[in-house]
Amino acid sequence: MHPDLTSYIQSLQNEASDITRERKSKLTKLADYIRTKKDSGQPARLTFICTHNSRRSHLCQIWSAVTADYLGLDQIETFSGGTEATAFNPRAVAAVERAGFNVENPGGKNPRYKVFFDEDKEPLICFSKTYDDSYNPRKNFAAVMTCTDADENCPVVPGAEIRFSIPYVDPKESDGTSREKQTYDQRCRQIAAEMYYLMSQV
């Protein structure tokens, strides 16, 4: 794993105390689902869903995959989607790069970013899509709602065998302000810390 990214993840280990009891309870229930799937010899597929699949859902997809890898957990597959497709927001991409990932941007209206975290492993592929896109699993997966709008507008996620609501405040609120970089870095770190906690409970 990239050294800067390793250092970033190691620094998350002391931040469990910053996670509220309510959020820990939600994350633990998701960890129980992952453990049950693994114990039965099945892959645990997690599809993180927000409205535009541009910020929070991608950050969750990335950090859940990488913290699982860091902790030596296998059979965990992570995906993301939205109620509509836009693009992986460049501000969120920049926050990921500042955390220690190497990101390759092929260009285009909705780039299929390659997010590298380890020289010896395949990159994560991140691009905006609807949650029911053919790139994502169609059945036997957990739908993890990362924003309240998507949670309210998707009362049913076809194919999902279970559903969890773990919403985050949209960093979009700071776009174009002097707080932009700080807000994106804070949301990136919050999600990283919670995904680390999640995987540490499996």
CA distance 196 to 193: 5
pLDDT at position 155 is 61
CA angle 183, 187, 193 (to 5 degrees): 145
CA distance 23 to 34: 17
This prediction's pTM: 0.95
Produce one character per residue of 137-174: b if its CB has 16 or more CB atoms within 10 Å, e if not.
Answer: beeebbbbbbbeebbeebeebeebeeebebbbebbbeb
φ, ψ (nearest 5 deg) of residue 192? -60, -45
CA distance 30 to 146: 13
* Beta pairing, strands 76-82 & 44-50: parallel
The CATH class of the 3-200 domain is alpha beta
C-alpha closest to that of 62 among 109, 102, 12: 102
> In DSSP terms, which residues pair with 44 in a beta bridge?
76
C-alpha closest to that of 59 among 172, 165, 183, 190: 190
pLDDT at position 147 is 82
pLDDT at position 15 is 87
32: helix, coil or strand?
Answer: helix
Mind listing the pLDDT tens digit of every residue in the chain (202 residues)? Answer: 999 999 999 999 888 889 999 999 999 999 999 999 999 999 999 999 998 999 999 999 999 999 999 999 999 999 999 989 999 999 999 999 999 999 999 999 999 999 999 999 999 999 999 999 999 999 999 999 998 765 566 667 889 999 999 999 999 999 999 999 999 999 999 999 999 999 999 9
